[in-house]
Amino acid sequence: MQKLKNRPDVSVVMITWGHEKFIEQAIEGVLNQSFDGRIELLISNDCSPDNTNQVITSYLANRPVPPHIEIRYFNHNKNRGSMKNFIWTICKSEGSYIAMCEGDDYWTDPEKIQKQVNFLRENQDCNLVYHRVMLCHEDGSLKEEDLNTANESYKRSVEELAEKGNFMHTASVMFRNNIEFPENLEFSHIGDYPIWFLNGEVGKFGYLPEFMGVYRLWGGSIWGTKGLSYKGLNWLGVLSGLVKYTRDKNLKKLLKLQATNVFTWISFRELDRKQKFRLLRYIFQLKPSLLAQMVGKAMGKYNK
């Protein structure tokens, strides 16, 4: 594998676990990038239980790498967990900008990195820029995501992120390599939203309305195909951690407001005993007034 002599302009963070069917396509989307600077691709395999490592090593041994790209492959012999592996890999990044692409997603536009770097160079008030993606279902069909509008560009703030929740897919994001990661953010079952929050503390979120990547929905996905109760419980955990982290009173208020809305996703009957105790803890941390709703759910008032 070729080693770049100078610091890369862009680091691409690609965490992977159990992605033997998809990892080649993810890597190929990065190697196809046409860019006027240097790129490093960091692949971090979190001790996959399948043949992901063999697929990666074989592919890298046979695929010519463009001269402006360096690949750094880390194959962990012990599972770190998604969030810890995510942050560990980001902290290994040496580029001025960091782009994301998990091992089951992929990029479709060879100008993606160039367009996003150009945007951040021209918009110094933004610390992050994202774009629209297509959603790939298990049958291979593609559908346009509906988190963002199609025909306009705009900038968003951390206040909007705190109040409304996530509006960015991981494979669409690039941000400046200028943030630090508090240890207490490793609590999260969801890696991207806390990272977007940290970016929002130092700048706005820029947006490009083009479709330049694909987010895959499949059975092994950490998030995409999970049920609402699973998502709701884990999202409350994320919000609880961010409430404890931020010192901004307005952001605390907005995060708690979002928690109230998220709570409606959860069916109390679908949770096991351990999950119910987790839910109770999050409620006390976030907004004790939710307790009355929880009791009502337990009695069947909300889940007939």
| Residue 225 buriedness (CB in 10 A; 0-12 / 13-18 / 19+) | middle
Which residues lie closer than 8 Å to 162 by C-beta, 6 or more apart? 197, 200, 242, 251, 254, 255, 258
C-alpha to C-alpha distance for 197 and 241, rounded to whole angstroms? 12
C-alpha to C-alpha distance for 208 and 129, rounded to whole angstroms? 7
Q: What is the DSSP letter of 184?
A: G
| pLDDT (tens place) for every residue of the chain, 304 residues total | 445 557 899 999 999 999 999 999 999 999 999 999 999 999 999 999 999 999 999 999 999 999 999 999 999 999 998 888 999 999 999 999 999 999 999 999 999 999 999 999 999 999 999 999 999 998 999 999 988 888 778 899 999 999 999 999 999 999 999 998 887 666 566 778 999 999 999 999 999 999 999 999 966 555 555 677 778 888 888 998 899 899 999 999 999 989 888 887 787 777 788 888 888 788 777 866 565 555 555 445 444 4
Residue with tokens 């706005």: 204
C-alpha to C-alpha distance for 171 and 219, rounded to whole angstroms? 18
In sequence order, the β-bridge partners of residue 125 are: none
Q: For 168-181, how does the pLDDT look when each residue is reduced to its tens digit (9 = 90+)? A: 999 999 999 999 88
Helix axes 249-263, 273-286, angle to 10 degrees: 140
C-alpha to C-alpha distance for 144 and 154, rounded to whole angstroms? 19
Homologous superfamily of 10-216 in CATH? Spore Coat Polysaccharide Biosynthesis Protein SpsA; Chain A (3.90.550.10)
List the domain boundaries for the chain.
10-216, 228-298
Which residues lie closer than 8 Å to 10 by C-beta, 6 or more apart? 35, 37, 38, 39, 40, 95, 96, 97, 98, 99, 113, 117, 174
What's residue 303's pLDDT?
A: 45
Q: Are 215 and 134 in contact (CB under 8 A)?
A: yes
